[in-house]
Amino acid sequence: MTAQARSTRPLATLALGLLAGLALGPAPAAAQRAESCIGISMEVTGPLANQGLMLRIAIETALDRINGAGGVLGRPLRLVIYDDVGEPARAVDNARRIGERDNCVVMFGGARTPNAIALREPLAEMGLPWIGAISAGTGVIEHPNGRNEWMFRVSMKDRWVTEYLVQQAKARSQNGKIAFVYEGTAWGQGALPDIEAAARRNGVALAGRETFNIGDQDMSAQMIRLRDAGVDTVVLWAVDRESANMLRSMDRIGWKPKIVSAWGLTTAFARAVGPLADGIMVAGTFNWNGPLSPEAQAALDAMKAKFPDRIRTTADLEQPSAMANAWDAIFILAEALKIAGAYDRTKLRDAMFRVNYTGIVADYRPAFIRGNQERMDAVLPEAYKLQAFHNGMLMPIEATPYGMRN
């Protein structure tokens, strides 16, 4: 339908096309001298405000360490925070603010996947590198057009998480009846195709798929259907509050399947449902309980020192994996800037592919691989860890009675 008038205005179209090309192509490279700030758009207010807070704690502590040691390229790295209340439209606004107004050298992502997905175009248009520590949706990094050039992630990738969870569920299910329960958000709905694909790959036929909405207080109907279908293992993809209500719905009808969950569950969940949480397994990238490497211990101590009111014990690290991811992400960024040699966005982007770094989550050698958008995710499935709730704490599974022997 748009083909019509091209032939009637060739010259103008050509000129326009040239101009457009000039604007979108080399222009970013020319104007890439940037400020030494990291701009972040995340949930400062709204229902995910706590996740935003945890992110801020990890990032600010990491920056303190870096700036305390002299900063990067002789300058301290600043953090500029904008609130997007978890709304994609605001995230886009903030991205432009960070990219054009503040002219930061890099943007850091918030918690939600749809916010990150909405940034694909604006980031490419501005030539602004972006790094995320949560937003695990596969499509954030693996763009449908195959050409992600600016978005990096030190986090989980839902396609890999789903594979991981399905395998864990398959290994633990007695009767092979596995169901998928997910929240009706972009994160939850986005995981469904990945789960289906993972199930197929692993020879699992899902015995049920159920969903519920944020704010729902009772999931009896869903649980009854699953129970009546004979399901004994549930792959869960939801956040604390609704999962807690789901647990209570299960408790009412006297049904307790094994549950392997994505990283939506935190210690807040355990505190809310008490003993019902015991035995529920959660996939993550890091656990702060148990033996820590010196670097991780230093990070924990630094966070406790900087935020004494909020971080008193490891249980206060409500987003354990995300915070570890963010920590590593900041240091990877610093590395890349050093390799780039200048506060220049394109140079930084190119340098990201040359980073080799040992972090607290994994050994990133290399962190990212050029030309392979699947590998613009730094954390590989080998680094995924299984944890379980035990006595109200989220522990590495080896430290609980719920290891594979059971």
Token code pair at residue 322 = 């995300």
Is 369 an interacting residue with respect to another protein (CB under 8 A)?
Answer: no
When the beta carbons of 64 and 210 are compared against another protein, the nearer one is 210
When the beta carbons of 51 and 325 are compared against another protein, the nearer one is 51
Of 62-70, 112-120, 300-308, 397-405, the window that binds another protein (rule: CB under 8 A) is: 112-120
Count of residues that bind another protein according to CB under 8 A: 87
Is 218 an interacting residue with respect to another protein (CB under 8 A)?
Answer: yes
Do residues 259 and 278 touch, judged by C-beta distance below 8 A? no
When the beta carbons of 99 and 129 are compared against another protein, the nearer one is 99
Q: At 252, which helix (H) or strand (E)?
A: helix 240-252
Least CB distance to another protein at residue 139 (A): 8
Is 210 an interacting residue with respect to another protein (CB under 8 A)?
Answer: yes
User: What single-letter DSSP state applies at residue 231?
Assistant: -
Do residues 126 and 149 touch, judged by C-beta distance below 8 A? no
Is 76 an interacting residue with respect to another protein (CB under 8 A)?
Answer: no
Do residues 359 and 327 touch, judged by C-beta distance below 8 A? yes
Is 24 an interacting residue with respect to another protein (CB under 8 A)?
Answer: yes
Coil vs helix vs strand at 256: coil
State how beta strands 104-108 and 130-132 pair: parallel
Is 15 an interacting residue with respect to another protein (CB under 8 A)?
Answer: no
Q: Which residues pair with 390 in a beta bridge?
A: 393
Site for another protein in 267-286 (CB under 8 A): 268-269, 271-274
Is 44 an interacting residue with respect to another protein (CB under 8 A)?
Answer: yes
State how beta strands 233-237 and 178-183 pair: parallel
Site for another protein in 180-209 (CB under 8 A): 184-190
Least CB distance to another protein at residue 336 (A): 25
Coil vs helix vs strand at 251: helix
Render the burial of 90-127: b for 16+ CB within 10 Å, e for the rest.
bbbebbbbbbeebbbbbbbbbbbbbbbbbbbebbbbbb
Choice from 158, 194, 240, 328 touching another protein (CB under 8 A): 240
The Cα-based distances of 228 to 11, 218, 257, 308, 321 in angstroms read 68, 17, 12, 48, 35
Is 301 an interacting residue with respect to another protein (CB under 8 A)?
Answer: no
Least CB distance to another protein at residue 168 (A): 26
When the beta carbons of 17 and 68 are compared against another protein, the nearer one is 17
Token code pair at residue 383 = 């680094």
Choice from 168, 211, 346, 387 touching another protein (CB under 8 A): 211
Is 47 an interacting residue with respect to another protein (CB under 8 A)?
Answer: yes
- How many angstroms separate the CA atoms of 329 and 327, rounded? 5
Least CB distance to another protein at residue 334 (A): 25
When the beta carbons of 156 and 273 are compared against another protein, the nearer one is 273
Site for another protein in 81-110 (CB under 8 A): 81-83, 85-89, 92-93, 96-97, 99-101
Q: At 170, which helix (H) or strand (E)?
A: helix 158-172
Is 212 an interacting residue with respect to another protein (CB under 8 A)?
Answer: yes
Is 9 an interacting residue with respect to another protein (CB under 8 A)?
Answer: yes
Coil vs helix vs strand at 264: coil
Least CB distance to another protein at residue 136 (A): 13
When the beta carbons of 228 and 301 are compared against another protein, the nearer one is 228
User: What single-letter DSSP state applies at residue 324?
Assistant: H
